[in-house]
Structure formats: structure tokens, C-alpha cells
Amino acid sequence: MDKSIFTDKKNIPCDGDLIDPLGNTFELWQLIIKFVHSKYPEAKDEWNYPGEKYGWNFRIKDKKRAIIYLLPREKYFKVAFVFGQKATDTIMRSPISGEIKIDLEAAKVYAEGRGIRIAVNNESVVEDIKTLIEIKLAY
């Protein structure tokens, strides 16, 4: 089961709670959050608890939608996005890694778009994530 490391609904996590569990990836977590805010300064950060099955996740929103979700795991985290069709088309034409494109193409299409999750174990995917954030903000 792919579940957050924070499962207690009564305890909202904070940055300090992330340092040990995320280990070396904590700096990347912070870098991604700072990048979103540099591109969209009005962004709002919030911890969200969609249910016991998933545990706590962190999301950054614009006025009406989530820009990105950060999902804390043991020694790494995942980022999740939902892209509409125009953004998906742009991603398919972009220099983003083929693996991400394959995942996006294979994702089930819902009313709000296609959702993908990308594991962040090291900095190798950070540039692709930055590009995805920029595409998300453009659409």
C-alpha cells in the first residue's frame, strides 16, 4: 500500500517532522516548494488528510486548484500532479523524460484530467518536476 508516513489524523505534520523520515530528500522537498512559490508567489501551502487509506499529504494551491501534491514516504517522497488535456499535450511535446510521458499517457483520464506520481529519491527528477510545475501553472 502506498501510504503517507503520517497517518494520525489528529497530528498535522510540520517541517520538523519531515527531516528524519525524508532523510537526504528533505532538501529536495524544500527546493520544490520554494520553486513553486518563486513561480507563483500567491500559492497557498496546506496539509491535507484525504482519509486513513492515504494519510497526510502536502499540497500547494493557486486560487482554485492544487498545483502540486507532495506525498511523504520513508526516505523519499512523491510528487503528484493532475493535468488537463492541453497541459498533457504540451508535456508530450516537451523534453521531459520518456518515463514520465509513458506514465502520463497510461494514466486514467478523469473529469479533472490525468494524474501522475513521480518518486523523488534523489535530484535526478527535479528538473523534470520544475518543468511540470511551469506547464501546470501555464494551463
pTM: 0.94
- Contacts (Cβ under 8 Å, ≥6 apart) of 44: 60, 61, 62
pLDDT band of residue 64 (cuts 50, 70, 90) is: confident
- Contacts (Cβ under 8 Å, ≥6 apart) of 74: 5, 21
Domains of the chain, by residue range, sit at 15-138
d(CA 56, CA 105): 27
Helix/strand number for the chain, H first, E second:
5, 6
Residue whose C-alpha cell is 512523491: 78
Query: Which CATH architecture best describes the domain 15-138?
Result: Alpha-Beta Complex (3.90)
d(CA 137, CA 44): 14
Which tens digit of pLDDT belongs to each residue from 86-137?
999 999 999 999 999 999 999 999 989 999 999 999 999 999 999 999 999 9
